């Protein structure tokens, strides 16, 4: 039977304290105990269902975590203050001094910077590889490797990870396979292909309203308990905790994710085909010309499509900047980083979200100056959007 992530979210039933259709928001940072013994037991991690302090758990955070675990098919999940607030504790929990990580070289610039510049301070080293080449991935593994890290669809180059192939390698070498699924929620369910831990920046499609940062780690109960341990849990001790009011708000937005992803994907597919037909260098996993189109197709939860992200290479940074400014003038979207908004967002990643990656490395991985990353919006009339975009492209001499 195929995996149905949106059904899993819908099938959860929460009531508020007074029968509200939304769960009540826990507006407290700390919790009372009826007996001192229960407090002691809770600190020792022995009392299920008790909350002690909001950096550890809150009812609202647990509701959101449960819904995201249901979506990703994991036992449980822990929500965090941002996507980076999910990624960094997971890596710090799994790796210590002397350990090694094999990571995709095309990942979000912040994650790359953490692995490249920050983790070495703790003597955690990373080899960055072309994640689409399984033999190269396996060859990079050393006796000290603990983690295999990738994004299901990579930021910004939209490389697609062969999660099944990577999971087989991870299993063979006793590694944890961590997949950042921020670019393809619902469309790809990494655990169905063997991922151990799935991470999202909730800031993007899942929240979908560009009004907050947030993150989540979806995994086994054992691992999430480890992250939350008061003694040595990286989520508990590093402190990137989501606020309960925000968790309640993200949960409400999560309920429309299936509709939004369908519309993002439909609009992105339409534009990608049109751009490609114009002769533009277009990268979209839904296009047959995409080198990993077949792999995405093997993993896809079909009704959600290939996602809302596409890139177009317009040849130079000057042209990219001129085109983005013009598109913003025509109100086709915003010249802004991030993704998953109702409005189209565009940016040139080489000089923004991936600027942490050196020019030389950008060149090596195929990240060119003229690349524009689009997060396609929920436009009701995508034909009209395309017509205006085409006029802008003509004016800037891109076509
Ligand atoms: N993962 C991916 C793929 C991202 O694109 C981003 C942010 O752009 C992050 C993680 C980091 O998330 P946040 O900004 O919520 O910390």
Reported as a single tens digit per residue, the pLDDT across 219-246 is 999 999 999 999 999 999 999 999 999 9
Tokens at 300, concatenated? 């896809």
Nearest CA to ligand 1 atom 15: 83
Tokens at 259, concatenated? 């509709």
pLDDT interval class at 399 (50, 70, 90): very high
pLDDT interval class at 10 (50, 70, 90): very high
pLDDT score of 1: 62
List residues bridging with 283 in a β-sheet: 311
3-state helix, strand, coil in the chain (%, to 5): 40, 15, 45
The closest alpha carbon to 9, from 378, 257, 299, belongs to 257
Give the pTM.
Answer: 0.98
Contacts of 20 (CB under 8 A, 6+ apart): none
Distance (Å) from CA 399 to ligand 1 centroid: 32
Nearest CA to ligand 1 atom 13: 83
What is the DSSP code (8-state) at residue 155? Answer: T
Above 90 in pLDDT, residue 41? Answer: no
Helix or strand holding residue 281 (H, E): strand 281-283
Above 80 in pLDDT, residue 47? Answer: no
| Exposed/middle/buried for residue 264 (C-beta within 10 Å: 0-12, 13-18, 19+) | buried
Which residue out of 84, 153, 307, 339 has the highest number of ligand 1 atoms within 8 Å of its CB and is therefore the one to mutate?
Answer: 84
Tokens at 321, concatenated? 């900047």
Q: Which atom of ligand 1 is nearest to the CA of 204?
A: 15
Q: Is the alpha carbon torsion for 375, 115, 364, 133 positive or negative?
A: negative
Q: Is 349 helix (H, G, I), strand (E, B) or coil?
A: helix
Nearest CA to ligand 1 atom 2: 108
Above 70 in pLDDT, residue 334? Answer: yes
**207 neighbors 247 (Cβ within 8 angstroms):** no
Which residue out of 88, 161, 204 has the highest number of ligand 1 atoms within 8 Å of its CB and is therefore the one to mutate?
Answer: 204
pLDDT score of 217: 98
Distance (Å) from CA 186 to ligand 1 centroid: 17
d(C-alpha 323, C-alpha 219), whole Å? 42
Which residue out of 105, 201, 242 has the highest number of ligand 1 atoms within 8 Å of its CB and is therefore the one to mutate?
Answer: 201
pLDDT interval class at 42 (50, 70, 90): confident
Distance (Å) from CA 182 to ligand 1 centroid: 7
pLDDT score of 356: 83
Nearest CA to ligand 1 atom 12: 83
The closest alpha carbon to 283, from 313, 303, 263, belongs to 313
Distance (Å) from CA 84 to ligand 1 centroid: 6
For the chain, the domains span 5-254, 258-395
| Ligand 1: lining residues by beta carbon, under 6 Å | 82-84, 108, 110-111, 151, 155, 180, 182-183, 201, 203, 213, 215, 353
Distance (Å) from CA 380 to ligand 1 centroid: 27
Above 70 in pLDDT, residue 46? Answer: no
* Strands 281-283 vs 309-313: parallel, antiparallel or unpaired: antiparallel
Which residue out of 68, 82, 83, 161 has the highest number of ligand 1 atoms within 8 Å of its CB and is therefore the one to mutate?
Answer: 83
Q: Does domain 5-254 have CATH number 3.40.640.10?
A: yes
CATH number of the domain located at residue range(s) 258-395 in this protein: 3.90.1150.10
Residue 3 to residues 76, 202, 219, 237: CA-CA distances in angstroms?
17, 21, 17, 35
Distance (Å) from CA 37 to ligand 1 centroid: 41
Above 90 in pLDDT, residue 310? Answer: yes
pLDDT in tens, 59-69: 999 999 999 99
d(C-alpha 21, C-alpha 273), whole Å? 42
Nearest CA to ligand 1 atom 14: 83
**139 neighbors 86 (Cβ within 8 angstroms):** no
């Amino acid at each position: 039977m195929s995996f149905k992530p949106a059904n899993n979210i819908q099938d959860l039933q929460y009531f508020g304290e007074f029968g509200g259709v939304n769960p009540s928001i826990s507006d407290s940072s700390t919790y009372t105990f009826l007996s001192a013994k229960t407090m002691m037991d809770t600190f020792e991690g022995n009392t299920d269902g008790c909350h002690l302090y909001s950096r550890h758990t809150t009812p609202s955070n647990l509701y959101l975590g449960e819904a995201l675990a249901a979506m990703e098919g994991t036992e449980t999940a822990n929500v965090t203050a941002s996507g980076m607030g999910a990624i960094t504790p997971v890596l710090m929990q799994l790796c210590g001094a002397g350990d090694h990580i094999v990571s995709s070289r095309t990942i979000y610039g912040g994650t790359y910077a953490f692995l490249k510049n920050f983790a070495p301070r703790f003597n955690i080293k990373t080899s960055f590889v072309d994640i689409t080449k399984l033999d190269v991935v396996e060859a990079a593994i050393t006796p000290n490797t603990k983690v295999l890290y990738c994004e299901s669809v990579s930021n910004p180059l939209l490389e697609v990870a062969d999660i099944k192939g990577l999971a087989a390698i991870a299993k063979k070498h006793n590694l944890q396979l961590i997949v950042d699924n921020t670019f393809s929620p619902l469309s790809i369910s990494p655990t169905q292909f063997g991922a151990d831990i799935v991470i999202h920046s909730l800031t993007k499609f899942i929240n979908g309203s560009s009004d907050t940062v947030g993150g989540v780690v979806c995994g086994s109960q054992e691992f999430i308990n480890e992250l939350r341990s008061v003694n040595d849990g990286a989520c508990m001790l590093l402190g990137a905790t989501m606020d309960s009011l925000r968790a309640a708000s993200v949960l409400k937005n999560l309920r429309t994710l299936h509709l939004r992803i369908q519309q993002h994907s439909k609009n992105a597919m339409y534009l990608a085909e049109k751009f490609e037909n114009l002769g533009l260098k277009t990268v979209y996993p839904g296009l047959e010309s995409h080198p990993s189109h077949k792999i995405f197709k093997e993993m896809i939860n079909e009704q959600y499509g290939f996602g809302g992200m596409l890139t177009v290479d317009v040849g130079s940074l000057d042209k990219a900047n001129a085109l983005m400014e013009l598109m913003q003038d025509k109100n086709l979207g915003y010249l802004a980083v991030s993704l998953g908004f109702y409005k189209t967002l565009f940016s040139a990643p080489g000089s923004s979200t991936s600027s942490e990656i050196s020019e030389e490395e950008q060149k090596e991985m195929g990240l060119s100056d003229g690349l524009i990353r689009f997060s396609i919006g929920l436009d009701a009339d995508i034909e009209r959007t395309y017509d205006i975009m085409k006029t802008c492209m003509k004016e800037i001499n891109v076509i």
